[in-house]
Amino acid sequence: MSVSADDGSTHQYTLEKLYLSAVTPATNTQLLVGEYSHNGGYGSIQTANTLTLKADGSYSRLGVGSYKADDGGRYGGSSDDTGTWQYANHTLTFRGKDGSVKQQIALLAPKGSLFEALGYLFVGGKLYRQKK
């Protein structure tokens, strides 16, 4: 694999194994219906997110996060968002009750994969797992 940096330099890497799976858009949007969670963090930053996609086309999203600053203090915040959702061609469109519109890439796990069995959904850079 060859990777080019912004400064024009190129770096070569050898991959021993590479697993790729084709991801086709969902034809039945009801496959996305459910409640999903994502927990993440790195070092002093921690996040937790919940995404609920309902069969009636409504959604809710809740996110909380915290970080530990160099001064030893802990700081955090939260957000929540509700409105309607639509899915087409790997894109989830969220229309918030406040009039905002946000589009995010959304990928379902490949059919028959372990990721599908575990209920994973990739949305906007986060890997969510369906709550069962």
12-53 pLDDT, tens digit each: 877 676 666 666 777 788 889 999 999 988 778 899 999 999
Q: Give 3's pLDDT tier (boundaries 50, 70, 90).
A: confident
> Residue 77 falls within a domain, yes or no?
yes
> Residue 73 falls within a domain, yes or no?
yes
> Residue 92 falls within a domain, yes or no?
yes
55-64 pLDDT, tens digit each: 999 999 999 9
The pLDDT assigned to 40 comes to 85
The pLDDT assigned to 52 comes to 97
> Residue 43 falls within a domain, yes or no?
yes
32 in Cβ contact with 106 (< 8 Å)? yes
The CATH number given to whatever domain includes residue 36 is 2.40.128.300
**What phi, psi does 112 have (nearest 5°)?**
80, 0
**What phi, psi does 6 have (nearest 5°)?**
-60, -30
CA-nearest of 20, 27, 19 to 90 is 27
88-131 pLDDT, tens digit each: 989 999 999 999 999 999 988 777 777 788 888 899 988 899 99
What's the domain range around 113? 28-130
94 Cβ neighbours under 8 A, 6+ residues apart: 59, 61, 81, 83, 84, 85, 100, 101, 102, 103, 104
CA-nearest of 122, 71, 114, 118 to 92 is 122
> Residue 6 falls within a domain, yes or no?
no
> Residue 19 falls within a domain, yes or no?
no
> Residue 117 falls within a domain, yes or no?
yes
Q: How many domains does the chain have?
A: 1
> Residue 15 falls within a domain, yes or no?
no
